[in-house]
Every structure is written in structure tokens, then in C-alpha cells.
Amino acid sequence: MTSREYTGPAIKVNDLSFNYKNLKAVDQLSLEVPRGMSFGVLGPNGSGKTTLIRLLVGLLKPKYGTIHMMGQPPSRKMSRYIGYMPQLASLYTELSIAQNVDFFARIYGVRNRAERRMQVEEAIQLVDLWPRRRDSIYNLSGGMKQRVSLACSMVHRPPLLFLDEPTVGVDPKLRVTFWEYFQNLNKQGVTIVISSHTMDDAAHCDRLAFLREGRIIAEGTPYELRQATGQSEATLEDAFLYFVVSMEEGNESK
Ligand SMILES: Nc1ncnc2c1ncn2[C@@H]1O[C@H](COP(=O)(O)OP(=O)(O)OP(=O)(O)O)[C@@H](O)[C@H]1O
Ligand SMILES: [Mg+2]
């Protein structure tokens, strides 16, 4: 995993498909995520973002296709190299913030107590909840729970982070802090896959995939995607709509 010889992409997905009964949630999707970048997955409700992330972290098994992380197929051993923040926080509501973050550090294998204490503090500081570390989750606001969930996903300092809409409900000031932190992690070689609806998040990503009905309709840097519209003033929202319309026109002419 940390092998110096491996020089390929952090994540490589080939022809991935997943159905819930007869609903195609992820449909023949291929993707490469280079190492050390923030890769955004953007798409409307139901486009398959959560399903894709759950496939990547190994919580769902693909119907077809393959996934490789740092050149290796998914395995139990990989889980300590992966951090996952689910869309809906799965925290122990009767435990405190610090106990929750510590619990995740333990299950992800941070055994050394002193190290764990340091990493737990760093993660809670990042989400700006250190003064409230002894509060139980039950007493927190929605946005605060979201922040604890982010702290839990990264407390073991994984080289691969999968964040499912981490900025939802997070106030603008803290969102700026999050992005500074993510970019800092990228500089240290951490690869981040992040799903979002907001163009604010999208603009921070190094590369983006636009998702629709389980398929990638466009992929590139934010600049490339905006340029593809042919309009110099185009926003990422304009770019998304441009690709949706192009795809629909393509389908009609078939
Ligand atoms: N457990 C499930 N059982 C059946 N269908 C599901 C299940 N989870 C998701 N789906 C369906 O799969 C499709 C993709 O859902 P998914 O949750 O991956 O979308 P999403 O892009 O994450 O949406 P959102 O932006 O609302 O989070 C949707 O049509 C959804 O209804
Ligand atoms: Mg989702």
C-alpha cells in the first residue's frame, strides 16, 4: 500500500455496475483518480454518488466490473488505509465526541495510546469542537454531528479518504477551514474523493466527474469542464447543464 514502487493511480475503476433489484444505480462506470488530489463527484439526488462511494470503500459488492486501490483489489487489509465519512453520520449518540473519535481510531488500528490521544485531539481540533469534546452526540446540532463524523473518518490518517457530502450543514467559515485542510492533506499525498451538490466544493476540487443516472457524463478539471461549454463566463453549474443537454441530444439522434 505504501510501497514506493507503485506509481499508478490511487483509484482505478473499470466498467463498474451495481443494481438495486432492477434499478441501475451505477452503470458501466470507469474512472481513474490520480494520487494526492481532491476528486469531486457531482450529480443530482439519486445520480449514484453514495452508491459509488459505498462500492469504493467495499460496503457494496459490484455486480460487474473491477476496483483497484493503489493497484490492489479490495480486501479487509485495505480498510485501515481508507477513511470513510458516510452521508448520514453513524455515531454513538450516548457517547461523547472524544469517545466517538477515539472509538474510530481504535477500530482503524491506532493502537499506541499516546499516538491515539494526539490524533484524536488533532481531528477534533480540525472540526473546531475541542471545547465541546466531552458533550454527548445527542446534544449536538446537525452540522456539529456532521463535523464529528468527518473527524472520525480521518482520525487514523488514511492515505485514501472518501467523503460523502462532508460540507452539508457546515457553515461557510468552517467550510473554508475544511478545504484548507483537505488541500494540505493532498500535499502530503492523501487522495480524497468527495461527493457534493455545491459548486463551491466543486471549484475546490482538482478534478471532477459529473454523474447522472449512474454514469459519468463528463470528467476533467473545473477549468476544462467550464471551457468545454464554449462560453468564457460559464460556471460549473452551466457546464453540468451543458453536458446533460449534450447527452440528451446525443441519445435522441441515435
Ligand atoms: N438501499 C437502496 N435500495 C434501493 N434503492 C436504492 C438504495 N439506495 C439507493 N437507491 C437508489 O439508487 C439510486 C442512486 O442512489 P444514491 O443514494 O447512490 O444517489 P446519490 O447521488 O447519493 O443521491 P443524493 O444526492 O440524494 O445523496 C437512486 O435511484 C436511489 O433511489
Ligand atoms: Mg448520496
Please state the atom number of ligand 1 nearest to the C-alpha of residue 214: 14
Tens of pLDDT along 221-243? 999 999 999 988 899 999 999 99
Q: What's CA 208's distance to the chain center, in Å? A: 12
> What are the sequence ranges of the domains in the chain?
8-70+161-254, 90-158
Q: Which of 144, 175, 181, 150 is nearest to 85 (CA)?
A: 150
Please state the atom number of ligand 1 nearest to the C-alpha of residue 44: 25
Cβ 88 under 6 angstroms from ligand 1: no
Tens of pLDDT along 59-100? 999 989 999 998 888 887 788 899 999 998 889 999 999 999
CATH number attached to the domain at 8-70+161-254: 3.40.50.300
Cβ 51 under 6 angstroms from ligand 1: yes
Tens of pLDDT along 2-53? 556 778 899 999 999 999 999 999 999 999 999 999 999 999 999 999 999 9
- pLDDT score of 169: 83
Q: What are phi and psi of 96, to 5 degrees?
A: -80, 170
The residues near 134 (Cβ < 8 Å, ≥ 6 apart) are 96, 97, 98
